Structure 1
Amino acid sequence: MKKAVLCILFLTVFTACKSDKKETPIVEEKPNIILFMIDDMGWQDTSVPFWKEKTAFNNRYQTPNMERLASQGMKFTQAYATPVCTPTRVSLMTGMNAARHRVTNWTLNRGVSAVNPPKGLAMPEWNLNGIQPTDSIERAVHVTTLPQILKAHGYFTIHSGKAHFGALGTPGENPLNLGFQVNIAGHAAGAPGSYYGTKNFKKQLDKNSVWDVPGLEKYHGKDIFLTEALTQESILAMDKAIENNKPFYLYMSHYAVHTPIQGDPRFEQKYIDKGLHPIEARYASLIEGMDKSLGDIMNHLEEKGIADNTIILFMSDNGGLSAVARGGEKHTHNKPLSSGKGSVHEGGIREPMLVKWPGVTQANSKTDDFVIIEDFFPTITELAGIEDYKTIQTTDGKSFTSILKGEKQDNNNRALFWHYPNNWGPAGPGIGATSTMRKGDWKLIYYHLDSRFELFNIAEDIGETSNLAFKKTKKLKEFATELGNYLRAVNAQMPTNTNTNQMVPWPDNETVLKVYF
Structure 2
Amino acid sequence: MITICKFLSQAETIAIGALLLAFSGPVFAAESADRKPNVIIILTDDQGWGDISSHGNENIETPVMDRIAAEGARFDRFYVSPVCSPTRASLLTGRYHNRMGVSGTSAGLETMALDEVTIAEVFKDGGYATGCFGKWHNGAHYPYHPNGRGFDEFFGFCLGHWNNYFDTTVEHNGKAVKTKGYINDVFTDAALDWIDDVHEKPFLCYIPYNTPHTPFQVPDKYFDKYKARGLDDALASAYGMCENLDDNIGRILDRLDKHNIADDTIVIFLGDNGPNGDRYNGGMRGRKGSVHEGGVRNAFLMRYPAKIKPGTHIETITAHIDVLPTLAELAGLDTSKTLPLDGISFVPLLEGKTMGWPDRLIFSEWRGKGSARSQQYRMAVEGGKPQLYDMIADPGEKNDIAKKKPQITNQLKKAYDEWDASFSHVSTVPPPIPIGHDEMKTVILTCSEGIWEGELDWGGKHPNNNWATNWMSTDCVVSWEVDIVTAGKYSVALEYICPETDLGSTVYVEVAGKRVEGRIDRAHEPNYLPSPDRVPRKEVYERTWGHKELGSFELPKGRSRMTVKATTKSGKAVMDLKSVQITRVD
Q: Is residue 292–residue 371 contact of structure 2 (8 Å, CA) maintained in 1?
A: no
Counterpart mapping for 1:138-153 below 5 A: 142-153=115-126
Counterpart mapping for 1:72-471 below 5 A: 72-106=71-105, 108-110=106-108, 128=109, 130-133=111-114, 142-166=115-139, 168-169=140-141, 171-172=143-144, 174-187=145-158, 189-197=159-167, 200=168, 217=177, 219=179, 222=180, 224-242=181-199, 245-322=200-277, 331-387=278-334, 389-391=336-338, 393-409=339-355, 411=357, 413-420=359-366, 422=367, 433-447=368-382, 450-471=383-404
Q: Is residue 122–residue 334 contact of structure 2 (8 Å, CA) maintained in 1?
A: no
Q: CA deviation at 1:419?
A: 2.6
d(CA) in 1 for partners of 2:418, 2:176: 47
Partner SS for 1:403: helix
Distance 1:62 1:492, change over 3 A: farther
Aligned to 2:40: 34
Look up the equivalent residue of 1:194 and give its one-letter code: N
Q: CA deviation at 1:452?
A: 2.1
Partner SS for 1:171: coil
Partner SS for 1:456: strand
Give TM-score scaled by structure 2 length.
0.64
d(CA) in 1 for partners of 2:225, 2:173: 28
Q: CA deviation at 1:490?
A: 4.5
Q: CA deviation at 1:311?
A: 0.7
Partner SS for 1:487: helix
In the TM superposition, what whole-angstrom CA distance separates every residue of 1:214-262 from its partner, at most 9, and x where no partner exists? 867352xx4x2111111111000111102xx311100011011111111
Q: Is residue 161–residue 185 contact of structure 1 (8 Å, CA) maintained in 2?
A: yes
Q: CA deviation at 1:374?
A: 0.8
Q: CA deviation at 1:30?
A: 1.2
Partner SS for 2:51: coil
Which one scores higher on RCO, CA 8 angstroms, separation ≥ 6?
A: 1
In the TM superposition, what whole-angstrom CA distance separates every residue of 1:174-204 from its partner, at most 9, and x where no partner exists? 21011000001132x111211112xx258xx
Partner SS for 1:59: coil
Distance 1:297 1:333, change over 3 A: same
Q: Is residue 268–residue 285 contact of structure 1 (8 Å, CA) maintained in 2?
A: yes
Look up the equivalent residue of 2:332 and give its one-letter code: G
Distance 1:275 1:213, change over 3 A: farther
In the TM superposition, what whole-angstrom CA distance separates every residue of 1:63-86 from its partner, at most 9, and x where no partner exists? 010111111100011000000111
d(CA) in 2 for partners of 1:212, 1:276: 37
Q: Does 1:486 pair with 2:467?
A: no
Q: CA deviation at 1:406?
A: 2.6
Aligned to 1:515: none
Distance 1:470 1:143, change over 3 A: same
d(CA) in 2 for partners of 1:195, 1:298: 23
Partner SS for 1:256: strand
Give TM-score scaled by structure 1 length.
0.72
Structure number with higher strand proportion: 2
Q: Is residue 38–residue 255 contact of structure 1 (8 Å, CA) maintained in 2?
A: yes
Q: Is residue 291–residue 365 contact of structure 2 (8 Å, CA) maintained in 1?
A: no
In the TM superposition, what whole-angstrom CA distance separates every residue of 1:450-502 from its partner, at most 9, and x where no partner exists? 4422211111111111112223222212222222233334447799xxxxxxx
Number of aligned residues:
396
CA RMSD of aligned residues (A): 2.4
Q: CA deviation at 1:267?
A: 1.5
Aligned to 1:475: 408
Counterpart mapping for 1:495-510 below 5 A: none
d(CA) in 1 for partners of 2:169, 2:203: 27
Q: Is residue 186–residue 213 contact of structure 1 (8 Å, CA) maintained in 2?
A: no
Distance 1:213 1:248, change over 3 A: closer
Q: Is residue 110–residue 137 contact of structure 2 (8 Å, CA) maintained in 1?
A: no
Q: Is residue 370–residue 412 contact of structure 1 (8 Å, CA) maintained in 2?
A: no
Q: Is residue 45–residue 212 contact of structure 2 (8 Å, CA) maintained in 1?
A: yes
Partner SS for 2:104: coil
In the TM superposition, what whole-angstrom CA distance separates every residue of 1:130-155 from its partner, at most 9, and x where no partner exists? 1144xxxxxxxx21111011111110
Look up the equivalent residue of 1:40 and give its one-letter code: D
Aligned to 1:63: 62
d(CA) in 2 for partners of 1:179, 1:212: 15
Q: CA deviation at 1:361?
A: 1.0
Structure number with higher helix proportion: 1
Look up the equivalent residue of 2:138 and give its one-letter code: F
Distance 1:320 1:364, change over 3 A: same
d(CA) in 1 for partners of 2:111, 2:290: 21
Q: Does 1:43 pair with 2:49?
A: yes
Q: Is residue 101–residue 112 contact of structure 2 (8 Å, CA) maintained in 1?
A: no
Q: CA deviation at 1:100?
A: 2.6
Q: CA deviation at 1:93?
A: 1.5
Distance 1:486 1:62, change over 3 A: same
In the TM superposition, what whole-angstrom CA distance separates every residue of 1:36-57 from its partner, at most 9, and x where no partner exists? 11111100001122xxxx3xxx
Q: CA deviation at 1:212?
A: 13
d(CA) in 2 for partners of 1:341, 1:416: 18
d(CA) in 2 for partners of 1:409, 1:98: 30
Look up the equivalent residue of 2:155 and give its one-letter code: I
Distance 1:494 1:482, change over 3 A: farther
Partner SS for 2:364: strand
Distance 1:253 1:494, change over 3 A: closer
Unaligned runs of 5+ in 1: 1-26, 111-127, 134-141, 203-210, 323-330, 423-432, 496-517
Q: CA deviation at 1:387?
A: 2.7
Q: Give the stretch that moved more between structures: 175-184 or 265-274.
A: 265-274
Unaligned runs of 5+ in 2: 1-32, 429-586
Partner SS for 2:240: helix
In the TM superposition, what whole-angstrom CA distance separates every residue of 1:399-454 from its partner, at most 9, and x where no partner exists? 1112222322454721111233x2xxxxxxxxxx212111121111112xx44222
